[in-house]
Structure 1
Amino acid sequence: MHANIAGERLLTELDHARLSHLGGVHALPELAEVLDSTDLVASREVPSDVVTMYSQVVIEDLDSHKRHKLTLCYPDDAEPHQGFISVLSPVGASLLGLRVGATARWRTPNGDACAAEIVSLLFQPEASGDYSL
């Protein structure tokens, strides 16, 4: 598991509140760790380069250098084949709260270590003035 460094991640107060009440959060230790150790900010104060819920990001796999466009979402909206990745998945939990340029690290269900750089943030709800998603 990747330990958080103070200030490494930011989470909006709204995302934190919603995720804290989401069923299954404690089944994924990585997400529980993010919720317990991440710095919180008001939605209107989150920097525009931070991955929040419903952000659309481009990541680049550090091994293959392949790029993928993903949207971080809640489990009910997940459509992995269309790039909608649940925050309850290892990759989703690893992206939450990181900034563009940071490296997300996670393990696949079979235990393989994966890492990808967040190359760009194509959409962040808060940056577009939507503080309620």
Structure 2
Amino acid sequence: MKKPNVIISQSDYLKISNLLDTIDGGQNCDNLIEELERAQILPDKEMPDDVVKMHSTVTFSIATTHRTFTLKLVYPYERDKEKSISILTPAGSALIGLSVGQRIEWSLTQNSAPTTVTVKSVSN
């Protein structure tokens, strides 16, 4: 499956890039860096409403578990385990920049086969 187009706001791009510069990554950080590198960067005021941004509340499904989640995408230091998901988690990094209806093939654990993550709705 071809990776979908992703759109990231200029401020999210800068904050996520700065965060990645301060941590010792790993495979998931490498995947997030790849997403940032291939993303279309837009000024904050031009971001479409249906695109996942930092602090968006996202309803998404995971194909392998047949489960749907509604969580707020946050930075690691803002995480509330029951209501949010960190941008540095595999699912969190898969979501950034996707719009409603888009899906991406993504590994959710270090050695797992990719699964499909689908964005169902976004609210900001």
Q: Counterparts in 2 of 1:1-133, with a 5 A limit? A: 4=3, 8-22=5-19, 23-24=22-23, 26-27=25-26, 28-80=29-81, 82-112=82-112, 113-121=114-122, 123-124=123-124
Deviations 1:39-69 (A, max 9, x none): 1101110000100001001112224432111
- List gaps (5 residues or longer) in structure 1: 125-133
Letter in 1 for 2:103: T
**Do 1:19 and 1:25's aligned partners in 2 also have CA atoms closer than 8 Å?**
no
Name the CA distance, whole Å, in 1 between partners of 2:17 and 2:64: 33
**Do 2:104 and 2:118's aligned partners in 1 also have CA atoms closer than 8 Å?**
yes
Name the CA distance, whole Å, in 2 between partners of 1:114 and 1:108: 7
Query: What's the TM-score, normalizing by structure 1?
Result: 0.79
Name the CA distance, whole Å, in 2 between partners of 1:37 and 1:25: 21
Percent identity over paired residues: 26
**Do 1:4 and 1:37's aligned partners in 2 also have CA atoms closer than 8 Å?**
no
Using a 3 Å threshold, how does the CA distance of structure 1 residues 61 and 111 change in structure 2: closer, same or farther? Answer: same
Query: What's the TM-score, normalizing by structure 2?
Result: 0.84
Aligned length: 119
Deviation at 1:108, TM superposition (A): 2.8
